Amino acid sequence: MTVKVSMSVNGKPVSGEVEERTLLVSFIRETLRLTGTHVGCDTAQCGACTVVMDGRAVKSCNMLAMQAEGAELVTIEGIAEPDGTLHPMQEAFRQHHGLQCGFCTPGMVISAIDLLKNTPNPTEREIREQLDGNLCRCTGYHNIVKAIAAAAQTGGGVLRR
Amino acid sequence: MYSFKYQLAKSVADASAFVAKNSDAKLLAGGQSLIATMKLRLSQPSDLVDLGALAELRGIKVAGNTVTIGAMTRHAEVAASAEVKKAIPALASLAWSIGDRQVRNMGTIGGSVAHNDPAADYPSAVLALDATVTTNKRKIAADQFFKGMYETALEPGEIITSVSFPCPKRAAYMKFKNPASRYAIVGVFVADTGKAVRVAVTGAAPCVFRVAEMEKALSAKFAPESVASIAVPEKGLNSDLHAKADYRAHLITVMAKRAVAAAL
Ligand SMILES: Cc1cc2nc3c(=O)[nH]c(=O)nc-3n(C[C@H](O)[C@H](O)[C@H](O)COP(=O)(O)OP(=O)(O)OC[C@H]3O[C@@H](n4cnc5c(N)ncnc54)[C@H](O)[C@@H]3O)c2cc1C
Ligand code: FES
Ligand code: FES
């Protein structure tokens, strides 16, 4: 059986026919073809699939698409300005070389925005502790932490939407 | 994941009646435990009844000496609540220690207490603070609620609506985390109500439990040294790749000492 699911993604209303067991991440990647949201572990450990739902960072591999019915989602594709100017968090990751292979990066950036939203001026220790829902297989944590600290000074905790 | 039918509950009464009638149906709260077990095909519900839209199950109220938390209140909301931080700081910091930010943004207190994972954090607070679990049918005292591994006093179709915590005189929770999952390898919640001291241990055994000997010693003198030489026997404690039973037994005493010190 399929059901209709509708939500807003990056400011646009979207909907699709999905099986009831469809995970939110599958809806985002396979139905909407927004492949910036990654699947690293598929077991709620790594955070590569993190998206913002109604203002909160969540792991889209550990919830049903139906749980996002009517919600407002922001994915990595939706955080830059319409003219392509990077979000301050993306810019900080670029400046501070906060990525190596880049696989964990979409989830890191989204989680880091949520981190700064809740803790606007974190210490280095707070950044490390509060990034515990995201793993970097390249272990590039030093520069990720530097990028987040820098983004705290440039509005990195604010989403346009 | 096996397929199932999904429905969004319109009321607690409807959800309860449906799950009572359909023995393979399950309630869905944040899904942070349930979806994972379904993905592993350890659980195969026929239907999921999503409690997500029931606003009456969400929210934090402080009245007199009691903090009441709605079942669908998320861990992040409890951790950030100024009222909880003021009334029972140990409870707010426990909520903050659960999993990671994304899990705390979805997982709920009702789901955690109903699931009764042997390594979950909330059961220790419910038991040590002598909380009351309120369902759509009755009120259940903490001592009667947790029955065994993933087992509670909840009957088919019974829905937790809230959990009420009496404010203690002082309390603290100390958790030795599994560094990968952040679940408790051993967590000890110590609460001094003013009249009695209660000590609850999670992570160490198949189900959260109290340590009568520590409670007695702390009632006589509330100080870390009171529990320093009290060891819980390792028989019956969990032994797995994360920690053997003797190590867990050792950790219970260490975490209890630290919790008392933190509560002082
Ligand atoms: C990566 C990760 C790390 C985690 N780390 C920790 C940790 O460190 N400590 C910890 O304690 N937990 C941890 N958890 C578990 C997390 O706290 C869950 O949120 C919690 O165990 C279940 O809450 P839920 O709202 O997600 O419930 P669900 O998964 O939706 O439901 C769990 C069970 O409870 C039942 N249920 C739900 N609500 C009710 C209700 N109101 N009445 C009756 N039955 C109900 C459901 O039918 C189901 O059987 C972790 C989870 C993940 C994915
Ligand atoms: S893919 Fe979701 S947490 Fe790893
Ligand atoms: S940059 Fe490669 S996984 Fe993080």
Residue A161 has pLDDT above 90, yes or no: no
C-alpha distance from B105 to closest chain A C-alpha (Å): 6
pLDDT tens, position by position, B207-229: 999 999 999 999 999 999 999 99
pLDDT of residue A1: 78
pLDDT tens, position by position, B94-132: 999 999 999 999 999 999 999 999 999 999 999 999 999
B103 chain-A contacts, CB cut-off 8 A: 44, 59, 62, 133
Is B77 among the domain residues?
no
Residue A61 has pLDDT above 90, yes or no: yes
Of A78, A103, A123, the residue at which a domain comes to its end is: A78
pLDDT tens, position by position, B53-100: 999 999 999 999 999 999 999 999 999 999 999 999 999 999 999 999
Q: Which domain holds residue A126?
A: 88-151
Q: What is the ipTM of this complex?
A: 0.96
Is B214 among the domain residues?
yes
Q: Who has greater pLDDT, B182 or B147?
A: B147
C-alpha distance from B98 to closest chain A C-alpha (Å): 11
pLDDT of residue A160: 78
3-state SS record for chain A: CEEEEEEEECCEEEEEEEECCCEHHHHHHHHCCCCCCCCCCCCCCCCCCEEEECCEEEEHHHCEHHHHCCCEEECHHHCCCCCCCCCHHHHHHHHCCCCCCCCCHHHHHHHHHHHHHHCCCCCHHHHHHHCCCCCCCCCCHHHHHHHHHHHCCCCCCCCCC
**Same domain (yes/no): A61, A94:** no
pLDDT tens, position by position, B32-50: 999 999 999 999 999 999 9
Q: Which residue in this structure is represented by tokens 């934090």?
A: B60
C-alpha distance from B35 to closest chain A C-alpha (Å): 6
**Same domain (yes/no): A49, A28:** yes
Q: Can you tell me the mean pLDDT for A65-69?
A: 98
Distances in Å between the alpha carbon of B28 and those of A60, B3, B4, B108, B223? 16, 15, 12, 10, 42
Is B177 among the domain residues?
yes
pLDDT tens, position by position, B148-162: 999 999 999 999 999
Which residues surround ligand 2 with Cβ inside 6 Å? A 39-42, 44-49, 59, 61
Confidence tier at B194 by pLDDT (50, 70, 90): confident
Contact residues, chain B to chain A, C-beta under 8 Å? 1-6, 8, 28, 31-32, 35-36, 38-39, 48, 50, 52, 76, 80, 99-103, 105-106, 180-182
pLDDT of residue A78: 97
Q: What pTM, to 2 d.p., does this model score?
A: 0.97
Please tell me the total count of domains within chain A.
2
pLDDT of residue B49: 98
pLDDT of residue B180: 85
Work out whether strand B47-50 and strand B5-8 pair parallel, antiparallel, or are unpaired: parallel
Is A161 among the domain residues?
no
Please tell me the total count of domains within chain B.
2
How many angstroms does the Cα of residue B36 sit away from the middle of ligand 2?
Answer: 11
Is B132 among the domain residues?
no
Q: Which domain holds residue B14?
A: 5-50
**Same domain (yes/no): A47, A103:** no
Pick the residue from chain A with its C-alpha nearest to B38: A21
**Same domain (yes/no): A99, A62:** no
Confidence tier at B181 by pLDDT (50, 70, 90): confident
Is A126 among the domain residues?
yes
